[in-house]
């Protein structure tokens, strides 16, 4: 089977991409000299994918919130045993997670990666749902949802998303609600499984102490070929206008929590990497720990070491979010808005820009020496639009201080910004 070799033009690193006859894309990053292996078997199916159709459907189908996360929980069990019991025999550390736009099953190991890979491919392709097991899981996940509702950190984020997004399902908690998961039954789980766990909608990534020929031999043995069912997903049209500008919730917290979000029109596949990198640079320049604003806020006691930021994006959504603890979140918000406006007028210091850019570059190079980071990088790039895992470092090299000055108005527009607060 012919491999496409994907090469980093800057560092000359490379990994291989295979289009397996079963329909699955397989990405293998061989890292000679490393002792560990990291693998992820993922589907482009997350909590936001509640509306879909296949070539066999006349119209789009709507399913309950939380079903992708529910499926993730159930796949570890089959008729014979729990997948964790099998991994215990190979010595691998296994896990799974569901995000807004994908679900992944993974393992890390220092030996027996071939045997662990066989377990991974086998159990993800062997669903087993019954009324009894579904009813039991509804109780378990229901408790998980209630625990999440009692988490101030989680509530401050999801309340913010409800402010920023009017219609997009990113505003709904990944686990769904107690009411929504009550609508899930075995038949519906099988339908969603057959739709989204089709190998044409999935990817296998593996990095570290592995061999591409061995990996593909396991794929030949374990993958069950399937037809491309013509899967389409859809979201309600999301306006740029916010649902609301401010939201407040009362919870038992020692210090008031806050999140400030800046909604951005979701970039296309060709612009997503640049938008993420520019946002990361701007967050550090404007309010990072080395910025004048951070020092001012810290010295005035308006923030503490919990202050942080992130670029939050996925299929159909993109936002820049900052947050932490503060005695006066509204004042923090005003100062951030004022600093953004100052930078829009005055521009940025070239030297500070270079320092931040070089630091980001160094971190990317460092991640190429980490097996887990390489595997996760391949997966993230693939989910974002079948991009190269090297796209970020190659795009970073091209970004200039003029680029971020030009794009700050789009990436940080206070008109499309909201504040979420959780206080006692």
DSSP letters, 226-241, are ------EE--PPPPSS
Q: Are 213 and 327 in a shared domain?
A: no
Residue 294 lies in a domain: yes
Within this chain, do residues 220 and 106 fall inside the same structural domain, yes or no?
A: yes
Which residue among 72, 238, 276, 395 is the active-site one? Answer: 72
Q: Is residue 88 part of a domain?
A: yes
Measured in whole angstroms, the distance separating CA 332 from the mean position of its chain's CA atoms is 27
Instruction: Determine, yes or no, domain membership for 239.
Output: no
Q: Which of 187, 206, 233 is the last residue before a domain boundary?
A: 233
User: What confidence score (pLDDT) does residue 1 get?
Assistant: 80
Domain boundary among 233, 264, 283: 233
Residue 125: inside a domain, yes or no?
Answer: yes
Distance (Å, rounded) from C-alpha 214 to C-alpha 231?
Answer: 31
Contacts of 310 (CB under 8 A, 6+ apart): 320, 321
Counted domains in the chain: 2
Whether residue 394 lies in the annotated active site: no
Q: Are residues 203 and 325 in the same domain?
A: no
Please tell me the pTM assigned to this model. 0.95
User: pLDDT tens digits, residue range 120-160?
Assistant: 999 999 999 999 989 999 999 999 999 989 999 999 999 99
Separation between Cα atoms, residue 289 and residue 283, nearest integer Å: 10
Mean pLDDT by groups of 10 residues along the chain of 424 residues: 91 95 98 97 98 95 96 84 88 96 97 97 94 91 92 96 97 95 96 97 98 98 96 95 97 96 94 97 96 97 96 96 97 98 95 97 95 98 96 96 96 98 95
Per-residue model confidence (pLDDT) at position 347: 93
Indicate if 127 and 35 belong to the same structural domain.
yes
What is the pLDDT at residue 360?
97
Choose the final residue of a domain: 182, 211, 233. Answer: 233
pLDDT of residue 9: 84
Domain range spanning residue 133?
4-233
**CA atoms of 120 and 39, how far apart (whole Å):** 9
* CB distance 243 to 53 below 8 Å: no
Task: Mark whether 186 and 289 lie in a shared domain.
Answer: no
Examine the domain organization and report whether 212 and 279 are in the same domain.
no
Does residue 33 sit within a domain?
Answer: yes
pLDDT reported for residue 76: 84
257 and 399 part of one domain = yes
Provide the pLDDT for residue 346.
94
Per residue in 192-219, pLDDT (tens digit) is: 999 999 999 999 999 999 999 999 999 9
Q: For the domain that residue 222 is a member of, what is the CATH number?
A: 3.30.830.10
Contact in structure between 320 and 262 (CB atoms under 8 Å): yes
Let me know if residue 240 belongs to a domain: no
* pLDDT value at residue 78: 75
Q: Is 262 in the same domain as 218?
A: no
Judge if 192 and 281 occupy the same domain: no
């Amino acid at each position: 089977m012919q491999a496409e070799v994907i090469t980093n033009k800057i560092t000359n690193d490379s990994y291989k991409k295979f289009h397996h006859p079963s329909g699955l894309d397989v990405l293998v990053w061989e890292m000679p000299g490393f002792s560990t292996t990291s693998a992820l078997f993922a589907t482009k199916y997350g909590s936001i994918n509640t509306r879909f159709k296949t070539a066999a459907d006349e119209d789009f189908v709507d399913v309950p919130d939380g079903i992708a996360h529910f499926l993730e929980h159930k796949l570890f069990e089959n008729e014979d045993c729990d997948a964790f019991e099998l991994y215990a025999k190979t010595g691998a550390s296994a896990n799974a997670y569901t995000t807004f736009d994908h679900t992944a099953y993974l393992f890390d190991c220092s030996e027996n990666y071939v045997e662990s890979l066989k377990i991974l491919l086998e159990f993800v392709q062997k669903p087993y749902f019954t009324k009894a097991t579904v009813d039991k899981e509804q109780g378990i996940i229901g408790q998980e949802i209630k625990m999440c509702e009692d988490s101030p950190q989680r509530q401050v984020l999801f309340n913010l998303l409800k402010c920023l997004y009017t219609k997009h399902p990113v505003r709904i908690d990944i686990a769904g609600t107690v009411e929504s998961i009550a609508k899930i039954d075995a038949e519906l789980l099988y339908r969603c499984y057959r739709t989204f766990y089709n190998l044409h909608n999935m990817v296998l990534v593996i990095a570290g102490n592995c061999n591409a020929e061995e990996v593909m031999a396991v794929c030949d043995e374990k993958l069950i070929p399937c037809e491309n069912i013509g899967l389409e997903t859809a979201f309600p049209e999301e306006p740029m206008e916010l649902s609301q500008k401010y939201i407040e919730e009362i919870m038992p917290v020692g210090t008031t929590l806050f999140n400030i979000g800046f909604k951005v029109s979701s970039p296309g596949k060709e612009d997503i990497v640049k938008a993420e990198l520019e946002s990361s640079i701007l967050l550090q320049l404007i309010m990072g720990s080395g910025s004048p604003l951070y020092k001012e806020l810290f010295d005035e006691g308006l923030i503490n070491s919990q202050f942080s930021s992130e670029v939050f994006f996925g299929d159909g959504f993109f936002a820049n979010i900052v947050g932490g603890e503060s005695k006066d979140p509204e004042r923090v918000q005003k100062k951030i808005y004022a600093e953004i406006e100052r930078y829009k007028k005055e521009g940025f210091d070239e030297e500070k820009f270079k320092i931040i850019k070089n630091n980001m570059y160094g971190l990317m190079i460092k991640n190429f020496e980490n097996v887990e980071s390489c595997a996760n990088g391949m997966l993230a790039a693939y989910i974002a639009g079948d991009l190269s895992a090297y796209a970020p470092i190659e795009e970073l090299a091209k970004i200039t201080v003029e680029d971020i000055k030009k794009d700050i108005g789009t990436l940080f527009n206070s008109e499309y910004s909201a504040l979420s607060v959780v206080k006692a």
